[in-house]
Chains A and B, each alone.
Chain A
Amino acid sequence: MLRDIILAAAALAVLLLLPVLIPHPALRDFIVYVIAYGLLAMSLNLLIGFTGLVSFGHAAYFASGAYGFGLLMQSGLVSVPVAMLAAVGGTALLALAIGAICVRLQEIYFAFITLAFQMFIHSVILTWVALTGGDQGLRGGIPRPAFLGIDLNDGRTLYAFCAVVFVVCLLIMRQIVQSPFGYTLRMIRDNPQRANFVGVNVRRVKLAIFVIASSMASIGGIVLALFVSGAYPDFAFWTTSGEAIFMIMLGGSQLFIGPLVGTVMLQALNHYVTIYTEHHGMVLGTVILIFVLGLRRGLADWVYEWFQSRNTRRMAVMAAAQLGEAKHDKLA
């Protein structure tokens, strides 16, 4: 844990220093998008990579965080931190209700029903115009009144706030996957029947991680809503869930940090390819094909495996050399 805290502090320092060293506003925007979608992808990977639950409706909770937070702030009744906590809590309750139904199903059926609930939430957002603004999204901007002397209307403060929230969320998720509970998740991923027969209540653990992952996704939505000062039905559309899955595929699902690598890659593709061509879907598709057919795994997983196999080769060479020396000694 100490090592993780040190790493987190270093990551935070880098995040805070980057815009100072490269004072280009586009960089700051880019990083905030990476933070928001990174939380979406990393929380989804708690389900996909660590528990083996392929959810296709994860963006629903991203959107519920964004809309919940935006609506609370527009009501003018609460401060930013209270609205954040309430939006996360509300999402957790929503995920508890939906998850209680979803975790009863397995594999492709689980994927389908999570997708179905997401489409349901998406159509509620579209049709409940009086509350959500329908396809126009939350109109009129999201006010950001100062709290505890922190004024989020200042771009640099807003950026620093997002960075801190992000790093704290990473630490929480990291702790979860390293805890006994995290290993319980791995047992369920590998072999749910056996996990059940060493005494794990599989369904309940799945529900718990579903709620946790959804809550984390909602924080990503809140960050985005804060930053763009609005919330849009696209947040809850299936393509957003699909993008989160792409990020995991590009970055890799086996390492904790993999989905974040994928987020940077996908955001970079989205931001920069669109500058040069309007056919950015084609470029994106090609890149994904290269990873799926070429590497057959995400970038982070691929690099990690490459280092691992290099180490094993080195150890083998060293062992062989020692063996050779020993033989030589004997002969001498």
Chain B
Amino acid sequence: MPRLTIPRLAMLKVENLSKSFGGVVAMRDVSLDFPSGSLTAIIGPNGAGKTTFFNLISGHIRPDSGRVLFGGADLVGLSSLQIVRRGIGRAFQVASLFPSLTLRECLLAAVVSHFRRSWSMLGRFPPPGAGRDADEIMALLGLTAQANVLAANLSHGDQKLLDIALALAGKPKVLLLDEPTAGMGPDERWQMIGKVHRLWEAQRTTLVFIEHDMDIVFKIAQTIQVLKYGTVLASGTPDEIRRNPDVIDAYLGTDHRLSAAVGAA
């Protein structure tokens, strides 16, 4: 496979990752590199193993075999708690929030945890310094106006943003976003992805996102990884993926948006 980019330190690297559930193979011998500061999209039809891939990295599921290397150390076998503390943040396909807290309280509580102050019983909430971090994250994602709204009452888009904000509170080195635009209309999708892109530019984290909207993927991703039935069908820049015959084959007839995107290219 031709390497067009300058080799950079791989922040996150998976090697020969496999996982089966009963007899169903969800992930078969997947090896991928995510260079430091890269912006990668993961695409693939339903059931391709995209969310499973995230679950394997974040420690929600343990792989049957293979390694997940993060800054050189193997994460396999660590609990999801240990993994998040090492600097892998994650937002979920369905926003996972604290519904009875306000947006700002949710963020403050997450920042408190990052500060290792979850056990402080004598101090006040929020502890000094936490407010500044929370306000910065809210400003970055444009959530400041909603600070005092209960998480349960936020709009769908703001809930998805808050989910990302909660992951950011831990100052992650790698950020995994599972379909940031899920359940949104076309305009909202572009707004959302614009925010994600600005976030990536501002923080230069290693960002990996799952996305179904091909226009969005081709527009903003540096690298695209195509998964199908638990294997890597293709990897490359948007241009390479667009021209890849396997991808065209796999998608024609299953996803009209991609066929449209491919046709346009």
A-to-B contact residues, CB < 8 Å: 1, 175-176, 178-184, 186-187, 189-191, 193-201, 205, 208
Inter-chain contact B96/A179, CB cutoff 8 Å: no
Can you spell out 27 A-B residue pairs with CB atoms less than 8 angstroms apart?
A179-B120, A179-B124, A179-B125, A180-B112, A180-B121, A180-B126, A180-B127, A181-B119, A183-B108, A184-B118, A186-B101, A187-B98, A187-B113, A189-B100, A190-B100, A190-B101, A194-B92, A194-B166, A196-B81, A196-B84, A197-B58, A198-B114, A199-B84, A199-B118, A200-B113, A205-B118, A208-B119
- Residues of B near A186 (CB, < 8 A) are 98, 100-101, 109
Number of inter-chain CB pairs below 8 Å: 102
- Residues of A near B166 (CB, < 8 A) are 194, 198
Inter-chain contact B97/A191, CB cutoff 8 Å: yes
Return B58 CB to nearest CB of chain A, in Å: 7
Identify the closest chain B residue to A204 (Cβ).
Answer: B119
- Residues of B near A182 (CB, < 8 A) are 121, 125
- Residues of B near A175 (CB, < 8 A) are 121-122
Return B92 CB to nearest CB of chain A, in Å: 8
- In the complex, whether B85 has a CB less than 8 A from a CB of chain A is yes
Q: With A194-B97, A198-B110, A198-B166 in contact, do A180 and B125 touch (Cβ < 8 Å)?
A: yes
A200 to B167, CA, bound (A): 13
Return B178 CB to nearest CB of chain A, in Å: 12
A186 to B100, CA, bound (A): 8
Question: Lowest 5 A-B CB distances belong to which pairs?
Answer: A190-B98, A198-B110, A199-B113, A180-B120, A194-B96
Given contacts A182-B125, A183-B125, 19 further A-B contacts (CB under 8 A): A179-B120, A179-B124, A184-B109, A184-B112, A184-B113, A186-B109, A187-B98, A187-B109, A187-B110, A190-B98, A190-B99, A190-B101, A194-B98, A194-B166, A196-B80, A197-B58, A198-B110, A198-B113, A201-B81
Identify the closest chain B residue to A197 (Cβ).
Answer: B84
A74 to B196, CA, bound (A): 68
Q: Which listed residue (B96, B120, B122) contacts A191, Cβ 8 A?
A: B96
Return B78 CB to nearest CB of chain A, in Å: 13
Of the four ranges (under 10, 10 to 19, 20 to 34, 35 or more), the interface on chain B belongs to 35 or more
Return A91 CB to nearest CB of chain B, in Å: 18
- In the complex, whether B49 has a CB less than 8 A from a CB of chain A is no
A200 to B96, CA, bound (A): 15
- In the complex, whether B170 has a CB less than 8 A from a CB of chain A is yes
- Residues of A near B84 (CB, < 8 A) are 196-199
- Residues of B near A194 (CB, < 8 A) are 92, 96-98, 166
- Residues of B near A189 (CB, < 8 A) are 100
A95 to B192, CA, bound (A): 48
Identify the closest chain A residue to B96 (Cβ).
Answer: A194
Main secondary structure of the interface of B (DSSP, over half): loop
- Residues of A near B127 (CB, < 8 A) are 180
Return A215 CB to nearest CB of chain B, in Å: 13
A183 to B113, CA, bound (A): 10
Interface mask (B97-138 → A, CB under 8 Å = 1, otherwise 0): 111110001001110111001111111111100000000000
Return B41 CB to nearest CB of chain A, in Å: 22
Return B173 CB to nearest CB of chain A, in Å: 14
- In the complex, whether B169 has a CB less than 8 A from a CB of chain A is yes
- Residues of A near B170 (CB, < 8 A) are 198-199
- Residues of A near B58 (CB, < 8 A) are 197
Return A252 CB to nearest CB of chain B, in Å: 14
Inter-chain contact A1/B124, CB cutoff 8 Å: yes
A108 to B85, CA, bound (A): 30
Inter-chain contact A200/B124, CB cutoff 8 Å: no
- Residues of B near A197 (CB, < 8 A) are 58, 80-81, 84, 90, 96
Return B114 CB to nearest CB of chain A, in Å: 6
Q: Which listed residue (A179, A191, A198) contacts B123, Cβ 8 A?
A: A179
Inter-chain contact A183/B122, CB cutoff 8 Å: no
A178 to B109, CA, bound (A): 12
Inter-chain contact A198/B169, CB cutoff 8 Å: yes
A197 to B58, CA, bound (A): 9
Inter-chain contact B125/A178, CB cutoff 8 Å: yes
Which residues 79-95 of B sit at the A interface, judged by CB distance below 8 A? 80-81, 84-85, 90, 92
Return B119 CB to nearest CB of chain A, in Å: 6
Of residues A178, A184, A196, A197, which shows the largest number of chain B Cβ atoms within 10 Å of its Cβ?
Answer: A197
Identify the closest chain A residue to B110 (Cβ).
Answer: A198
- Residues of A near B167 (CB, < 8 A) are 198
- Residues of B near A179 (CB, < 8 A) are 120-125
- Residues of A near B125 (CB, < 8 A) are 178-180, 182-183
Return A136 CB to nearest CB of chain B, in Å: 40
A1 to B123, CA, bound (A): 10
Return B39 CB to nearest CB of chain A, in Å: 22
Return A130 CB to nearest CB of chain B, in Å: 40
Return B222 CB to nearest CB of chain A, in Å: 26
- Residues of B near A201 (CB, < 8 A) are 81, 118
- Residues of B near A190 (CB, < 8 A) are 97-101
A189 to B99, CA, bound (A): 10
Inter-chain contact A199/B85, CB cutoff 8 Å: yes
A176 to B110, CA, bound (A): 18
- Residues of B near A196 (CB, < 8 A) are 80-81, 84
A262 to B200, CA, bound (A): 51
A299 to B123, CA, bound (A): 30
A45 to B170, CA, bound (A): 30
Q: With A196-B81, A197-B84 in contact, do A183 and B114 touch (Cβ < 8 Å)?
A: no
Return A211 CB to nearest CB of chain B, in Å: 12
